[in-house]
Structure formats: C-alpha cells, structure tokens
C-alpha cells in the first residue's frame, strides 16, 4: 500500500493525511442528505463505535456477574470486573502496540511522527515512556474505570436507580445507545478544556502530555484526577433512564476508545494491500501542539471555538496568532 496516495510528508518528515481538513457532512452547507446518510451508516454505525459496543455486549453477556449478585458491594464480584477490565485493556492495547511499536512490522509507514519514542527520558515515570504509560493506565486508569462501573451496577441492582426494559422500550433503548458517542464527545471536549486550565494542567493533565509522540498505551496514561473527570460522563446514566449495558458501552467507549486517538499511525496495515484506517490525526495534532483540537469532529467544537488545526500551514499560522494574543492578554 502506497503511503503517498493517502498523504504527504512535510520538510521534517511528518505525515499530513490528504483528508486532514475534511469536514463532517452534518455541518456542511448546502445540506447533502445522501452524504449525511453515508456518514451515519459507515462512519458512525459501522465504525469503531460498533466495535466498542460489541466488546461491551460480549463482556456483559459472558464476563459480567449476574446483576442480582450485585445488590451488595462485595469483593468477589468487584474483583472479577476489575480483572476482566485489566485483561481486556491489556489485550486490546497490545494488539496495537506490539505490532506497531515493538515489532515495528510496518516501520514508519503511515506513522505521523517519523521518530520513535526515545528509550530513556527523565520526564517519564521509570524514565521510560512505555513503563510510564502502563503504570498510569493499569495502576490508576482501569481501577477508576472499574469503580464507576461497579457503583453503577450496584445502584441498578439495589434498585436505587431505575432500569429500562429493552423489550418494552426498544426504540428508546437504541436511541440512548446512539446518543452515547455524541454525549461522550461533548463531555470530553469540555472536560479537556477544563484540564488545560493552568491549575489543573499543572497538577494533573501534564502527566498525559508528557507523551508528545504518543502510542496506544499513552491514551489512559493520566493522573488519577484526570481519570476521575474523564470517566465521569458515565454519571449521565444515573440521571436518565438507562440499562447496565448502556453503562458498559459508555465506559468501554471511553476506556478502549481512548487508544484510537493515540495510536500515532494513520493506518495499521494488514498486508501490503489492505489497512485499517485509524482516523486519529486530529488528536495526534493535539499532542503535537497542545492548545488545539481539544475534541473530535462529529461535534465540531474546535471549529466553533477557533481551536481547530488540520496540520496545514494556514491553520498553524492561525494557532500562533491566537496564542500570541493570549500571551499579550495575560501580560496585561
């Protein structure tokens, strides 16, 4: 597969995908309903969203204790859920990390940053990016994810919050499922902007931004304060009528979906002719420039608030102008 058909490299060797500046058809005018329909089917339904839902569904059906057993907070079922989540995250992240970053099966082909993470850097815990990332992910990220999940299940099982019956309200059940990725995107954008507020950035978010050349394990490499805020979107299901599967899909979408934005490659090659498009350039640029692309592009908050960057010289100049204005404002 020829990389040059999908993008160009700048003078420093960084890959700029051809479609970097592409806008979601939902927000283009004049409205093209056919393009919106194609986007909804192939970019919203049959996409990573479906993969995360499938993992959540299989986990709910086969690797989650019966809801009746969760009426009381007991270590036996809580530990099973924690173990399940640790295994799923380790398998999923390593399915991406090992071929791309350990075995380097495709070299830097389709890699945004032509350099590899340095083997030793003082800025990281244990002075190594991979060890740092695994430590924060498995030591804090997955346990905090599990805590949200466990408390939600306990609230459902003990009758403290109502559970929707999918068979009696199938349309509502499906609509909530479809709503979750959109809610997650809005929640992520505003939480992310909060984390860039200097006090929060200094005490928490800087742990994540050590990863200027991120890989999949960088995705949940966060300070516990950031984990608490990042996964807090699942609390919406304590307010609106939901089902435990909604909670699982929501939190799996957040936990596993975080990897997608940090892979560092445009495509993961299956063979010389086929590859999986990873759609993660937008967030890669956030790690490169810090003060741009706080969200994703289904809901174009970055376009609306002037923080969008597509990797082009034009958007880079706009970013620098905006940051210089902020510096002047802060001095005054």
CA distance 322 to 106: 37
Instruction: Give tens-digit pLDDT for 101-110.
Output: 999 999 999 9
Percent of the chain at pLDDT exceeding 70:
98
Vertex 69: Cα angle to 137 and 92 (nearest 5): 25
Closest to 91 (Cα-Cα) out of 55, 117, 57, 116: 55
85-114: buried (b, 16+ CB within 10 Å) or exposed (e) per residue? Answer: bbebbbebbeebbeebbeeeebebbbbbbe
Whole-angstrom distance, CA of residue 132 vs CA of residue 129: 5
CA torsion, ordered 214, 301, 279, 25, to nearest 10 deg: -170
Q: Is it the case that residue 21 has pLDDT exceeding 60?
A: no
Render pLDDT for 109-125 as a digit per residue (tens, 0 to 9). Answer: 999 999 999 888 999 99
Place of tokens 């839902």: 53
Choice between 222 and 260, residue whose per-residue pLDDT is larger: 222
Assessment of whether the complete model's pTM goes beyond 0.85: yes
**DSSP 8-state symbol, 99:** I
Residue 245 has pLDDT above 90, yes or no: yes
**Coil/strand/helix, residue 95:** helix
Task: Supply the mean pLDDT for the chain.
Answer: 93
- Of 110, 124, 96, nearest to 263 by C-alpha is 96
Q: Does residue 78 register a pLDDT over 60?
A: yes
Res 25: pLDDT: 87
Confidence of residue 313 (pLDDT cuts 50, 70, 90): confident
**Mean pLDDT computed over 204-225:** 96
Structure tokens at 217: 């394990």
Give CA–CA dist 218/208, Å, rounded: 7
Residue 271 pLDDT class (50, 70, 90 cuts): confident
Beta strand pairing call for 15-17 and 7-9:
antiparallel
pLDDT reading at 62 higher than 80: yes
Confidence of residue 279 (pLDDT cuts 50, 70, 90): confident
Residue 280: predicted pLDDT: 84
| pLDDT score at 57 | 98
91 in Cβ contact with 216 (< 8 Å): no
d(CA 282, CA 253): 18
User: For residue 222, which of 234, 200, 205, 197 has the smallest C-alpha distance?
Assistant: 205
Q: What is the DSSP letter of 10?
A: -
Name the pLDDT band for 274 (thresholds 50, 70, 90): confident
Amino acid 273: pLDDT: 79
Q: Which of the four pLDDT bands, split at 50, 70 and 90, describes residue 218?
A: very high
Tell me if 283 sits within 8 A of 270, measured CB to CB.
Answer: no
Mean local confidence (pLDDT), 77-99: 97
Of the two residues 167 and 274, the one the predictor is more confident about is 167
Give the mean pLDDT of 174-190.
97
Confidence at residue 220, expressed as pLDDT on a 0 to 100 scale:
98
Which residue ranges make up each domain of the chain?
Answer: 3-331
DSSP string of 274-290?
A: -EEE---HHHHHHHHHS
Task: Tell me whether the omega of the peptide bond preceding residue 107 falls within 30 degrees of 0, making it cis.
Answer: no
């Amino acid at each position: 597969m020829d990389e040059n058909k999908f993008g160009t490299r700048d003078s420093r060797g960084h890959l700029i995908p051809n479609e970097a500046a592409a806008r979601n058809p939902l927000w283009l005018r004049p409205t093209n309903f056919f393009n919106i329909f194609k986007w909804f089917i192939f970019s919203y339904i049959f996409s990573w969203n479906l993969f995360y839902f499938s993992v959540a569904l299989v986990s709910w059906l086969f690797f989650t204790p019966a809801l009746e057993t969760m009426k009381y907070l007991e270590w036996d079922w809580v530990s099973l859920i924690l173990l399940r989540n640790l295994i799923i995250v380790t398998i999923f992240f390593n399915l991406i990390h090992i071929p791309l970053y350990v075995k380097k099966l495709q070299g830097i082909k389709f890699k945004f940053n032509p350099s590899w993470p340095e083997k030793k850097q003082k800025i990281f815990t244990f002075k190594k990016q991979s060890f740092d990332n695994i430590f924060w992910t498995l030591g804090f990220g997955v346990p905090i994810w599990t805590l949200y999940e466990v408390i939600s299940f306990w609230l459902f099982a003990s009758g403290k919050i109502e559970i929707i019956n999918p068979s009696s309200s199938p349309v509502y059940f499906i609509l909530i499922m479809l709503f979750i990725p959109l809610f997650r995107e809005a929640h992520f954008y505003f939480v992310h902007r909060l984390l860039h507020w200097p006090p929060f950035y200094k005490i928490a978010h800087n742990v994540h931004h050590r990863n200027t050349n991120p890989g999949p394990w960088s995705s949940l490499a966060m300070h516990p304060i950031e984990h608490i805020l990042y996964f807090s979107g699942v609390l919406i299901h304590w307010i609106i009528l939901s089902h435990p599967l909604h909670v699982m899909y929501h939190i799996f979408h957040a936990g596993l979906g975080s990897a997608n934005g940090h892979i560092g490659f445009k495509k993961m090659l299956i063979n010389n002719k086929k590859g999986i498009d990873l759609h993660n350039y937008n967030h890669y640029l956030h790690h490169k420039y810090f003060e741009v692309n706080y969200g994703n592009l289904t809901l174009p908050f970055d376009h609306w608030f002037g923080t969008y960057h597509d990797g082009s010289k034009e958007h880079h100049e706009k970013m620098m102008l905006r940051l210089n204005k902020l510096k002047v404002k802060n001095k005054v």
